[in-house]
């Protein structure tokens, strides 16, 4: 059974220190970044070496398309979601993109990409921007549903982010603590709509490091009101909840990494991400060891279900999907 901490590594290969950390039962996953990647073959071998240490770990990446795309060298350069929405056959293209992304990620031995973004683009948040499909909730929901459908067809679980919507708050939660001052009714009627309508489609949710002042004084990822009362109670979501990176500035309001992961799990997260700071990951690990947290069995649902086929470019659907995206001038 997976532990409740997802961590990262610094290089393209595992060090002795990495192996020691990964062996701790409280560690349940590892996320890779651009710095960990040289080529598809190297990523595949890295994943094999990780699984030799811990076969049960969830291996993740952020491979949304556009500017958030860690796998680049030797992989398709997928478009930003907003670029898809500008086409008359956007729904078809979104499904193709979801399938292509998931197929490439699964082929190198990773389990999941944290995608798609369900935020709405209100032309206010630079950190969201073109990562969002649309500013219109209905249109964004339709395109996200198609993207998720493509992911599922490839065998990958989908993660909707960033609940209940990051598109209105202007600050970047990587470097600040964003605040959304709208009422719950306003958020329900707008940004929450894709999450509500797709709650039975996506497999996991990643909450926003945003404070919604009229709902809770804590960021959504640390809020039982948002995660238990609204996401699980009101929307009926029964899948996995991943925290966003607990090293981000938007999470610092809670305290050090140990306090952050405790607060995230107490609020309702199943797994906490602590990235780009090994010292913070060690603090989070120590907190989990002290708390003796029982990992959620539903984390098993996030394992990749596709075949790690290294010759996926020979599959007929690959040619069809790539041709469609090229015809729309979305890829080279």
- Residue numbers belonging to the annotated binding site for substrate: 62, 70, 131, 161-162
CB atoms within 10 A of CB 278: 16
Please say if 174 is a catalytic residue.
yes
Which of 203, 244, 245, 270 is catalytic? The answer is 244
Which of 56, 122, 136, 174 is catalytic? The answer is 174
Question: Which residue shows structure tokens 């071998």?
Answer: 45
Report the Cα–Cα distance between both ends of the chain, in Å, rounded. Answer: 42
Please say if 96 is a catalytic residue.
no
Q: How far is CA 93 from its chain centroid?
A: 21
Instruction: Let me know: does 236 contact 205? Beta carbons within 8 Å.
Output: no
Instruction: Let me know: does 51 contact 109? Beta carbons within 8 Å.
Output: yes
Residues 6+ away with beta carbon under 8 Å from 278: 7, 10
From residue 29, alpha-carbon distances to 9, 263, 316 in Å are 11, 19, 33
Query: Which residues are part of the catalytic machinery?
Result: 174, 244
């Amino acid at each position: 059974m997976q532990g409740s901490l997802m961590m990262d590594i610094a290089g393209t290969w595992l060090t002795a220190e990495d192996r020691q950390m990964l062996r701790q039962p409280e560690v349940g996953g590892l996320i890779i970044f651009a710095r960990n990647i040289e080529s598809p073959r190297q990523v595949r071998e890295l994943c094999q070496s990780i699984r030799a240490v811990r076969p049960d770990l969830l291996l993740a990446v952020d491979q949304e398309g556009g500017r958030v795309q860690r796998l680049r060298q030797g992989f398709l350069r997928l478009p930003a979601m907003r670029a898809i929405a500008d086409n008359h056959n956007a729904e078809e293209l979104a499904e193709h993109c979801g399938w292509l992304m998931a197929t490439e990620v699964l082929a190198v031995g990773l389990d999941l990409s944290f995608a798609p973004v369900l935020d709405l683009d209100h032309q206010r948040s630079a950190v969201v921007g073109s990562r969002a499909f649309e500013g219109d909730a209905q249109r964004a929901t339709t395109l996200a549903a198609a993207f998720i459908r493509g992911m599922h067809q490839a065998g990958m679980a989908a993660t909707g982010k960033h609940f209940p919507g990051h598109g209105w708050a202007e600050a970047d939660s990587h470097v600040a603590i964003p605040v959304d001052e709208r009422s719950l009714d306003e958020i329900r009627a707008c940004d929450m709509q894709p999450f509500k309508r797709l709650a039975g489609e996506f497999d996991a949710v990643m909450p926003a490091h945003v404070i919604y002042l009229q709902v809770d004084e804590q960021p959504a990822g640390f809020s039982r009101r948002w995660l238990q009362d609204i996401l699980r109670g009101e929307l009926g979501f029964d899948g996995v909840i991943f925290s966003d990176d607990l090293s981000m500035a938007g999470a610092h309001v809670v305290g050090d990494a140990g306090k952050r992961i405790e607060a995230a799990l107490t609020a309702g997260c199943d797994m906490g991400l602590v990235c780009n700071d090994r010292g913070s990951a060690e603090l989070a690990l120590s907190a989990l060891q002290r708390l003796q947290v029982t990992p959620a069995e539903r984390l098993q649902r996030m394992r990749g279900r596709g075949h790690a086929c290294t010759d996926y470019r020979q599959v007929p659907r690959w040619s069809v999907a790539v041709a469609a995206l090229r015809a729309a001038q979305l890829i080279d």
